[in-house]
Amino acid sequence: MRTQKLSSGNFRVVISDGTDESGKRIFKSFTADAEWKAIKMAEDYKNQQKQPKAAKKRQPRRTVPDTSYSRKGVTLAKAFRNYIDTRTNVIEPTTLLVYSQIAANSFQSIMDMSLDELTTLDIQAAVNEESKRVSPKYVKNAYGLLRSVLKMHEVDLKLDSVKLPKLRKKDKELPPFETVYAIVKGTDSELPVLLAAWLSLRIGEVIGLQFRDVDREKHSIHVRRTIIHTKDGYEVRESCKTEKSDRCIHVPDYLLHLIMQQPHKSDTDFIIPRSRKSVYSKFKRLMAKHDIDMTFHNLRSLNASVMLMLGVPDKYAMERGGWSTDNILKSVYQQTFSSERERVDDLIDNYFSGIVSAENAGTNAALQP
């Protein structure tokens, strides 16, 4: 009995099943998504063959199904569905939603083609067609998914020759934090903006915060929950985007005071009891009124720019922002020393506190007779 792990991730077990009329050995293969399943299927088949002939005659004849995979008649659309269906419990719902959108809207000119007749030229033509209507980044992401789908179905095509559109570098100049804060100060966008720009929270983390996540004695917030967008709507997830995203962040006095001012009845109430769309749209409109093209997600970029300007090492910037990609830091092997982390927190808090204090002092002076 031979066990082989396929490139699709499935396991195949091959056993000898006697000989044909010419004396040539016959082999039987069994394929499953787990090694033990494939082995069990093979063992069950062997045990069935060992049953006495008399017993076999008393039992209805049963045909052993061919468990090997066949691509015959499988269209690219079906292959996409297979790929997505086999990952529903191992991939984030937001990612599955994106996959479903790509399957429904991309490469429509080849979706009805069977995998056996699909050629590299067909794929190149489809990529070329996609490039007319969507951004190069979207084409790249959709093509990456297409390659994964074909790999899972063991389609052997030379895809290295497929040419993708060049990515267009976007140099979006963001306004300084002083400008952003002057616009949102005193509005219901102030707290969400400060959580994103000061503490570097994602929008899902901002609206996922509850009062029980705040430690008033330690002046910290535990970021451990997010609200995500799935095909069934919005869902509260008691975990973050990545392992590194689950983090504790120091909260300065002004921000802690602003948080505790929010009305609530229990510790499980959300600090920002608003929808993702509401927070995003309100901020976008405020910026547009001042002719500023900026999204809520850009606030994390603003935070990263401030940390870069202040000379915060990547290691601590990664820790505060919950980033875990290799593009910023290959791996975090060293210890994060508490004293150095406190110095970084103080450095960042002093910068933002100075701007907030100056802005509020100016407002108070203007209100005095």
| Residues spanned by the domain of 14 | 2-52
7 — phi, psi (to 5°)?
A: -65, -20
Q: What is the pLDDT of residue 65?
A: 42
Q: Is residue 59 part of a domain?
A: no
Quote the pLDDT of residue 338.
56
What's the total number of domains in the chain? 3
Please indicate whether residue 66 or residue 122 has the higher confidence score (pLDDT).
122
Give the orientation angle of helix 338-367 with respect to helix 298-309, to 10 degrees. Answer: 110
Q: Are 227 and 237 in contact (CB under 8 A)?
A: yes
Report pLDDT for 68.
44
Both 189 and 266 in one domain: the answer is yes
351 & 292 share domain: yes
Q: Which one of 16-25, 213-222, 338-347 scores highest in mean pLDDT?
A: 213-222
Judge residue 38's burial from the number of C-beta atoms within 10 Å of its C-beta, 0-12 exposed, 13-18 middle, 19 or more buried: buried
Among 67-71, 79-83, 197-201, 285-289, where is mean pLDDT lowest?
67-71
Tell me the residue ranges of DSSP E strands in the chain: 2-5, 11-19, 25-32, 214-215, 220-223, 226-230, 233-237, 247-250
Instruction: Give the pLDDT of residue 35.
Output: 73
- For residues 9 and 75, which has the higher predicted lDDT (pLDDT)? 75
Q: What is the mean pLDDT of the chain?
A: 82
pLDDT, tens only, 103-119? 999 999 999 999 989 99
241-284 tens-digit pLDDT: 666 678 889 999 999 999 999 999 999 999 999 998 999 999 99
Say how far apart CA 110 and CA 70 lie, in whole Å.
20
- If asked whether residues 313 and 355 sit together in one domain, one would say yes
What b/e sequence results for 203-237 when a residue is b if at least 16 CB atoms lie within 10 Å of its CB, and e otherwise?
bbbbbbbbbebbeeeebbbbbbbbbbeeeeeeeeb
Cα distances from 190 to residues 85, 250, 301, 348, in angstroms, run 41, 18, 17, 18
Task: Tell me, yes or no, whether 154 and 192 share the same domain.
Answer: no
Q: Do 39 and 114 share a structural domain? A: no
Give the whole-angstrom CA distance, residue 151 versus residue 144. 11
Mark which of 161, 188, 211 sits at the end of a domain: 161
Query: In this predicted structure, what is the pLDDT of residue 25?
Result: 67
pLDDT for the residue numbered 151:
92
Is the domain of 278 the same as that of 316? yes
| Band of pLDDT at residue 173, cut at 50, 70 and 90 | confident
Determine the pLDDT at residue 184. 95
